[in-house]
Structure 1
Amino acid sequence: MEPYHEEQLRVRYQETDQMGVVHHSQYAVWFEVGRTGLIRRLGISYGELEEKGMLLPVVDLSCRFVAPARFDDVVGVRTQVREMRGSKLTFAYEVVRLSDGGILARGQTIHLWVNPDMKSFNFERTQPQWCSRLRAFTCKSEQGE
């Protein structure tokens, strides 16, 4: 999964269930941490986007659980852009246990660029400079490599 942005997190007790395993709902939160971290790394903030009337709601989320994460594990949330086309932006995620590199989960979120009236717009056409920054984190397979 290259290139990617990685956010490191330590599993907190309240993120686990009765079995001592990270609850499945937590992965959606971790995906958001990874996504906002990637965007912040590019010098763009969600707040700045929203001030300019550009919203990025999640329209689809999927996650495949591979192995359990447990209390006090240190995990890396690796995030990259899978697809950028018109108003659609797809992020790919991989959650790994940093102590052994074991993959815990893989997932993706699909977003649409919309204005405050929830009408979609072509982000590539209206913000080419930000698109070029996002392309730095696009999956190699999407870049034709």
Structure 2
Amino acid sequence: MKKTFDLYEHLAQYYETDQMGIIHHSNYIRWFEEARTNLLDQMGFGYDQMEKLGIIVPVLEIACLYKSMVHYNDRVYIIPKIEAFNGIRLTISYQILDKTNGELRTTGESKHCFLDKKNRPVSLKKKHPELFDLFDGYLGVDLSK
């Protein structure tokens, strides 16, 4: 099982800025989603594959703590990490780092659950043990190295 990943890099776009020339706060949540999607794809089981199995993964909660500003044309790395997983719920943390100097720009966390198409909770351990093992294998692993 691959335990390192290509870092997810984002180039801050002009349309993401506010009137002060900094990235508008709402975009960081989108960046978390981009990095999470990239993480799942690199793990080998993206959202598209889960949906083919009838699994959806909604966001239950999201938090974001802004440390320093990102400006137009800055390049940042967005690093997700699986912090908690029990087969029904999933928590992912995020760090946004300046690509040039490594400065921590933002931290965050998203919480999710696994549901079937009828919006009922799904236990991956019972219904999809291969997926349970995949997620469990990445629990707490620092994927930035």
TM-score (norm 2): 0.89
Name structure 1 gaps, 5 residues minimum.
none
Q: CA 1:5/1:118 → structure 2, altered by over 3 Å: closer, same or farther?
A: farther
* Whole-angstrom CA distance in 2 between matches of 1:17 and 1:4: 32
Residues 41-56 of structure 1: pairs in structure 2 closer than 5 A? 41-56=42-57
> Counterpart amino acid of 1:103?
L
Matched position secondary structure for 1:110: strand
Residues 1:111 and 2:106 aligned together? no
Structure 2 gap ranges (5+): none
CA contact (8 A) 2:12 2:71 kept: yes
Counterpart residue number, 1:86: 87
Among the aligned pairs, what percent are the same residue?
24
* Distance across 2 between alignment mates of 1:110 and 1:33: 15
Deviation at 1:26, TM superposition (A): 0.3
TM-score, normalization: structure 1? 0.89
Q: How does 1:1-145 map to 2 (within 5 A)?
A: 6-139=7-140
Tell me how far apart the structure 2 counterparts of residues 46 and 120 of structure 1 sit (CA, whole Å): 16
Following the alignment from structure 2 to structure 1, what is the Cα–Cα distance between the partners of residues 5 and 46? 18
CA RMSD of superposed structures (Å): 1.9
Q: CA deviation at 1:3?
A: 6.7
Number of aligned residues: 140
**Equivalent AA in structure 2 for residue 89 of structure 1:** L
Shift of 1:138: 2.2
